[in-house]
């Protein structure tokens, strides 16, 4: 069986086997089964059950699935009328709802697995269960889900199953999953004192000292690069009147994801009025000044451009911003730093003439290549085209998409990139940057978007060489994307062991005894003067205990100092990832090496430089 067949047919068929197994275990009268699609590494099915499925149930369900497959039952395909489908699933409320939502002329198909289980499904599927005899599967987890993703509807149980063509592929995948769990940023973040969350601000991270150093190091790196490429940084208000978003179109397209602050009604003395239930009384919408925490920076950049007369000589005008953004998410969608409600982006909005588009995006790719190569990461580009809820006219969209295709063709060759149909922003097409990590997983972080619409909405103009007024084009650009998401990815990519230039603590200083604290303090002053991030443990405790603590924090270099080091002005170095200690390294030489690693943003180990 080909991998494609397995993904498209066998995994989907195994979902039916899972549903049949659950029904046989719990009894048909006790089970409402909803939907069960295939996914990237297996499948899942949603159920309403009389009790919670626990890990102790997994072997029983797996055993029942194997038993059903061994029955070698025929799979029968049928087309039925809407009326017959409703009768067939009369005791299954989720199936009934799905059927009722179908158009009257919709072709309805069902699949029987044996004589006693039938599911509403478009297929395709296998012809006999014996085709699944060689498949390898294992239940991954059981978790809560809502019917149709609506938290006001039935809460279901979703059973996930890993599924692969053979045992070796399943084994390899489980090994990869175990490694991914070891790298999980939600585990490593608190362990390394990088960030935390609290119920008082769901989805809004607290950045702890180590994490904030990491954050600011990435920000400084971005600012240095942008400065070298002629960017100007601005800072705009976090809260804006909805009038701004009415002009930009975000109010119509993005309102449900915005934190909106309605205006409270007050009396003539400024006191807040209460309704009959004792709740705050809101001002009528038509009279209220409604504000929102900004979900993106682009409308503010339009206001800055429009604040003064602009000439073609000012273009490209690059306005970068690293301001706090807020986007409202459903609680079930929050996922560590990967999906948050408060974040920052390395945003930029560059205003150009149409003739400057290609050169400007080429320059953006140059910055992109520098960032990713410095971090030892690779990426690929993906073109996202006009979505269904697009704003503006189709001809303008066609022009923008053609411009991006031309740029990508020049960089990667025709067909050297993927096209993601219908996934562009509502105001323009975009190039998404898919970053690959150490486990081969891809993450969409950076984006480059071409926009003819917002300049039109805000009536932006610049004076052309002939004195006429023309509309600029805006290039929206974020290369880290969300700092939070990017940091989550690199925590997992590096497994918390960041390269020297990026590490929150680059050097840890361990005096062997308290009488060596003076020399340790002298070293820390030199480290501070050389802008090397350090920590020192002056406590009167065992040296090995101190070293272990710093090793657990994944500090690149731990220097140990005692009487001999103080007398000779040297340090002994414990290099992360090595059990050997390098003794008698001159202090000045060590400082020089740290400076070089910081300045060059390289990943070489200090051992390589010492050996040279």
Active site residue 158: no
Which pLDDT score, from 0 to 100, does residue 57 have?
97
Report the alpha-carbon distance of residue 399 to residue 427 in Å, rounded.
13
Which pLDDT score, from 0 to 100, does residue 423 have?
83
**Catalytic pick among 298, 356, 537, 554:** 298
- Cα–Cα nearest to 571, from 529, 610, 528, 612: 610
Angstrom distances, CA of residue 161 to CA of 154, 389, 460? 22, 35, 53
**Contact between residue 404 and residue 386 where contact means Cβ atoms under 8 Å apart:** no
Say what the pTM is: 0.84
Where would I find the beta strands (DSSP E) of 55-120?
75-80, 108-113, 117-120
DSSP readout, 33-70?
E----EETTEEEEEEE-SS---GGGHHHHHHHHHHHHH
What b/e readout covers 461-498, taking b as 16+ CB neighbours within 10 angstroms? bbeeeeeeebbbbbbbbbbbbbbbbbbbbbbbbbbbeb
* Three-state DSSP class for residue 217: helix
Other CB atoms within 10 A of residue 78 CB: 13
Which pLDDT score, from 0 to 100, does residue 104 have?
83
Which pLDDT score, from 0 to 100, does residue 599 have?
77
| Angle of helix 483-494 versus helix 209-228 axis, rounded to 10 | 110
Report the alpha-carbon distance of residue 263 to residue 278 in Å, rounded.
17
**Catalytic pick among 158, 183, 430, 546:** 430
Taking phi over 0 as left and psi of -120 to 50 as alpha, with beta for the rest, 456 belongs to: alpha
Active site residue 554: no
**Catalytic pick among 12, 213, 250, 327:** 327
Active site residue 525: no
Which pLDDT score, from 0 to 100, does residue 611 have?
41
**Catalytic pick among 349, 516, 533, 576:** 349
Which pLDDT score, from 0 to 100, does residue 501 have?
94
Q: Long-range CB contacts (< 8 A, 24+ apart) of 569-574?
A: 571/523, 573/606, 574/547
Give me the residue label for tokens 């501070």: 528
Active site residue 226: no
Which pair of structure tokens corresponds to residue 445?
């972080």
Which pLDDT score, from 0 to 100, does residue 608 have?
40
**Catalytic pick among 16, 386, 476, 554:** 476
Segments of the chain with pLDDT less than 70: 1-6, 600-612
Other CB atoms within 10 A of residue 319 CB: 22
Which pLDDT score, from 0 to 100, does residue 3 have?
57
DSSP 265: P
Active site residue 327: yes
């Amino acid at each position: 069986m080909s991998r494609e067949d397995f993904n498209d047919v066998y995994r989907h068929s195994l979902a039916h086997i899972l549903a049949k197994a659950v029904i046989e275990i719990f009894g048909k009268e006790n089970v409402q089964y909803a939907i069960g699609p295939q996914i990237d590494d297996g499948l899942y099915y949603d159920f309403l059950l009389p009790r919670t499925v626990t890990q102790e149930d997994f072997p029983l369900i797996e055993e029942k699935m194997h038993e059903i497959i061994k029955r070698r039952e025929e799979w029968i395909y049928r087309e039925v009328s809407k009326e017959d489908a409703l009768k067939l699933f009369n005791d299954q409320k989720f199936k009934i709802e799905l059927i009722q939502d179908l158009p009257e002329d919709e072709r309805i198909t069902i699949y029987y697995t044996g004589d006693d289980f039938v599911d509403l499904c478009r297929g395709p599927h296998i012809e006999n269960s014996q085709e699944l005899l060689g498949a390898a599967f294992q239940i991954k987890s059981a978790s809560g889900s809502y019917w149709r993703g609506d938290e006001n509807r039935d809460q279901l149980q979703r059973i996930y199953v890993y599924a692969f063509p053979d045992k070796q592929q399943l084994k390899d995948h489980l090994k990869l999953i175990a490694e991914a769990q070891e790298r999980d940023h939600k585990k490593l973040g608190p362990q390394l004192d990088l960030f935390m969350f609290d119920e008082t601000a769901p989805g809004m991270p607290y950045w702890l000292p180590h994490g904030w150093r990491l954050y600011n190091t990435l920000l400084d790196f971005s600012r240095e690069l942008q400065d070298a490429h002629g960017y100007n940084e601005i800072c705009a208000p976090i809260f804006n009147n909805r009038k701004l978003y009415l002009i930009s179109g975000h109010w119509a397209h993005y309102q449900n994801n915005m934190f909106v602050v309605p205006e409270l009604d007050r009396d003539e003395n400024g006191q807040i009025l209460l309704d009959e239930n004792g709740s705050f009384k809101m001002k009528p919408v038509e009279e209220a000044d409604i504000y929102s925490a900004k979900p993106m920076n682009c409308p503010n950049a339009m206001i800055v451009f429009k604040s003064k007369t602009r000439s073609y000589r000012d273009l490209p005008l690059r306005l970068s911003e690293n301001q706090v953004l807020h986007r409202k998410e459903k609680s079930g969608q929050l996922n560590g730093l990967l999906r948050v409600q408060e974040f920052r982006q390395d945003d930029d909005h560059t205003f150009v003439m149409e003739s400057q588009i290609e050169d400007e995006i080429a320059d953006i790719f140059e910055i992109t290549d520098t960032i990713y190569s410095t971090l030892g990461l690779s990426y690929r580009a993906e073109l996202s085209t006009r979505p269904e809820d697009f704003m503006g006219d189709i001809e303008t969209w066609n022009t923008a998409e053609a411009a991006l295709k031309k740029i990508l063709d020049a960089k990667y060759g025709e067909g050297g990139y993927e096209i993601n149909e219908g996934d562009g922003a509502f105001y323009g097409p975009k190039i998404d940057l898919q970053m690959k990590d150490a486990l081969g997983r891809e993450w969409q972080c950076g984006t480059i978007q071409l926009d003819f619409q917002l300049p039109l909405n805000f009536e932006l103009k610049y004076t052309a060489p002939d004195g006429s007024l023309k509309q600029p084009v805006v290039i929206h650009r974020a290369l880290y994307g969300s700092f939070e998401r990017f940091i989550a990815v690199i925590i997992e990519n590096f497994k918390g062991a960041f390269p020297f230039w990026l590490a929150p603590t680059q050097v840890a200083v361990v005096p062997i005894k308290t009488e060596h604290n003076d020399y340790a303090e002298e070293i820390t002053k030199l480290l501070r003067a050389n802008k090397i991030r350090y920590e020192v443990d002056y406590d009167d405790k065992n040296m090995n205990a101190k070293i272990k603590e710093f090793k657990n924090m994944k500090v690149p270099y731990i220097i140990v100092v005692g009487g001999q080091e103080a007398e000779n002005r040297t340090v002994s170095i414990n290099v992360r990832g090595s059990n050997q200690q390098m003794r008698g390294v001159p202090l000045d030489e060590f400082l020089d090496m740290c400076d070089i690693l910081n300045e060059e943003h390289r990943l070489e180990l200090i051992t390589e430089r010492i050996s040279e």
